[in-house]
Amino acid sequence: MKRAAIKLSAVAYLGISGLLTLTASPVWATESLCDVQEQVIFSCSLGKKMVSVCASNDSSASKGYLQYRFGQKGALELAFPDLAESALASQSVQARTLMFSGGGGGYLRFINGQHHYIVYTAIGKGWGAKDGVAIEKNNQLIANLECQDILVSKLSEEFFTRAGLSVDQNEFQIPGID
């Protein structure tokens, strides 16, 4: 009888701790502009709007897609590149990892003519974490929108290699870091 009571209390504890874990995670922490059948590579809220990078589940150097999305759920303002055009990510997206004292980071640069949309995440000693999207026109920073909530990011050298992305030659500088 004692053994059954111990087993029951362990199950009850696991059930309660699992319930606490579920309720402790904010619902909006997992929101993105990606569809349920896509991988969320990067996503965060920018206030009333959101930025997400979505990939097909079969995304690789030779197939699938990687797309930058900006706007609100159900009201996208920008989705690039156009998925109707069968361009591989390697043709319009560049990537790079970053090294900083006490940290590091990475970013994806989506190249749309004169406009570049750069999603980034980084952490460094003395300035902490920086995450967001920078917008450049003709290689000049015209806007920097910082993440306002919990960031979802799978930006890494491993992901960049698997997706077949070329190394960004422009060496993006995280805004606000001197």
pLDDT band at 178 (very low <50, low <70, confident <90, very high): low
Sheet of strand 50-56: strand arrangement: 75-80, 66-72, 50-56, 38-45, 152-153
pTM: 0.79
83-96 average pLDDT score:
76
pLDDT digit string, tens, across residues 113-132? 999 999 999 998 888 899 99
% of the chain at pLDDT higher than 70: 79
Least confident interval from 45-54, 59-68, 101-110: 59-68
pLDDT above 70 for 35: yes
pLDDT above 90 for 54: yes
Task: Give the Cβ contact number of residue 41 at 10 Å.
Answer: 24
CA distances from 85 to 42, 64, 65, 93, 169 (A): 22, 12, 10, 15, 25
pLDDT band at 94 (very low <50, low <70, confident <90, very high): very high
One-letter identity of residue 64: G
pLDDT above 60 for 18: no
% of the chain at pLDDT higher than 90: 54
Spell out the residues 6+ positions from residue 104 whose beta carbon is closer than 8 angstroms to its own. Answer: 97, 98, 122, 123, 124
Q: Which residue has the tokens 């300035």?
A: 127
Distance CA 154, CA 121 (A): 10
159-178 average pLDDT score:
87
The string of DSSP letters for 54-68 reads: EEETT-SSSS--EEE
Distance CA 46, CA 41 (A): 16
The answer to whether residues 104 and 98 touch, using CB atoms and an 8 Å cutoff, is yes
157-167 average pLDDT score:
91
